[in-house]
Chain A
Amino acid sequence: MIDAIDRAIIEATQAGLPLVAEPYAAVAKQVGVAPEEVTRRIERMLENGLIRRIGAVPNHYKLGFRGNGMSVWDVPDRKVERYGRLVGELEFVSHAYHRPRHLPLWPYNLFAMVHGRNRVEVMEKVERIAELLGEDDRGHEVLFSTRILKKTGFRLPPLPPTTAKS
């Protein structure tokens, strides 16, 4: 799906886009291809979703959103997709996921990261989700992080095997 040039572009931009007037040309120089080749490939990666978006990643905590709660919900499986979309669209929810239950300990199948200035604000927002789900909210909890134990970047997967031609 990605070749060596895509991979080189990904590696060159994983930490960020260069803050220079012609950033894609700078990446091209680093990768060793023409600037148009880089913009063409980045546009293609945007189209097929390999790149989600290009822009700024805000640091919620630094911007004053210090209450970040992982809210987890037990909703009927046949409605999880609809509720996931509804909850995911709320402006205070950054990510929503359908994940598997692990009964009996873990009955929750919908996760939504809720951001607020503090825990009280997060809990108010969680209540808004609860109202949205109504009686299909068969139980929920909010897990606050108490400590970061590790935080590193993601690793790039290996190159796809090259088809050897003899």
Chain B
Amino acid sequence: MDDIDRQIINRLQGGFPVSERPYREAAAWFGLDEAELIRRLRRLLDDGYLSRFGPMYHAEKLGGGLSLCAMAVPEEKFEQVAGQVNAFPEVAHNYARDHQLNMWFVLATETPERIDEVVEEIERTTGYRVYNMPKQKEFYVGLRFQV
């Protein structure tokens, strides 16, 4: 990664043009030509410095349900419960965290109503309580993370 790659990462976290030749437009911001910007973006993606390039969609506004849930699972049951929880297709991410609430997962459902149903299904399947923590308000600034 060189200085131009850093500039690209810092500058292109939003505001990518919606036009016929958007890469050409954006390339000019860095003094590059279109092909060079595309080449660099492809490399940053291939090397894993970027996890994605494109439009970021707002899941709830698209009509789906989204929530963060946590469980307190005894250590000896942890792997078994992780398998049960992960088997639900609605579980998008699941992380082990160092806390009494040691399993944290994101539910993404096709409808908002489905969140509560899946929470109940997970409780029934695992036998442990699910602490549902849907966001009540999001404080989102967007452009950030300078490298």
Q: Do A and B come from one complex?
A: yes
- Cβ of A105 under 8 Å from chain B: yes
- Interface residues as binary, B120-147 with A (CB distance below 8 Å gives 1, 0 otherwise): 0000000000011111111111111111
Which of these, B13, B23, B92, B134, contacts A53 with CB under 8 Å? B13
Q: Which residues of chain B are near A23, meaning CB under 8 Å?
A: 22-23
- Are B110 and A157 closer than 8 Å at their CB atoms? yes
- Are B142 and A53 closer than 8 Å at their CB atoms? yes
Q: Which residues of chain B are near A107, meaning CB under 8 Å?
A: none
- Interface residues as binary, A93-122 with B (CB distance below 8 Å gives 1, 0 otherwise): 011111110100110000100010000000
Would you call the interface of chain A mostly helix, strand, loop, or mixed?
mixed
A84 and B18 in contact (CB under 8 A), knowing A19-B38, A56-B13, A57-B50? no
How far in angstroms is the closest Cβ of chain B from A42?
5
Cα A11 to Cα B126 with chains together (Å): 33
Q: Which residues of chain B are near A96, meaning CB under 8 Å?
A: 138-140
- Are A145 and B96 closer than 8 Å at their CB atoms? yes
Q: Which residues of chain B are near A2, meaning CB under 8 Å?
A: 62-63
Taking CB atoms and an 8 Å cut-off, the chain A residues in 136-155 that contact chain B are 141, 143-155
Q: Which residues of chain B are near A57, meaning CB under 8 Å?
A: 13, 50-53, 56
Interface size on A, residues (CB 8 A): 76
- Give B142's nearest chain A residue, CB to CB: A53
Q: Which residues of chain A are near B147, meaning CB under 8 Å?
A: 58, 63-64
Q: Which residues of chain A are near B58, meaning CB under 8 Å?
A: 49-52
Cα A143 to Cα B104 with chains together (Å): 10
Q: Which residues of chain A are near B70, meaning CB under 8 Å?
A: 106
- Give B70's nearest chain A residue, CB to CB: A106
- Cβ of B49 under 8 Å from chain A: yes
- Cβ of A91 under 8 Å from chain B: yes
Which of these, A14, A54, A143, A153, contacts B15 with CB under 8 Å? A54
Which of these, B18, B20, B34, B38, contacts A43 with CB under 8 Å? B18
Q: Which residues of chain A are near B93, meaning CB under 8 Å?
A: 148, 150-152
Which of these, A14, A43, A152, A156, contacts B92 with CB under 8 Å? A152
Q: Which residues of chain B are near A81, meaning CB under 8 Å?
A: 137
Q: Which residues of chain A are near B98, meaning CB under 8 Å?
A: 143-144, 146
A87 and B56 in contact (CB under 8 A), knowing A55-B12, A99-B133? no
- Are B135 and A148 closer than 8 Å at their CB atoms? no
- Are A49 and B61 closer than 8 Å at their CB atoms? yes
- Give A148's nearest chain B residue, CB to CB: B95
Cα A166 to Cα B132 with chains together (Å): 43
Q: Which residues of chain B are near A30, meaning CB under 8 Å?
A: none
- Are A50 and B62 closer than 8 Å at their CB atoms? yes
Q: Which residues of chain A are near B35, meaning CB under 8 Å?
A: 21
6 tightest A-B CB contacts, nearest first: A88-B139, A53-B14, A17-B54, A157-B64, A149-B94, A150-B94
New A-B pairs, 5, CB < 8 Å, besides A19-B45, A50-B61: A21-B21, A24-B20, A56-B53, A88-B140, A145-B104
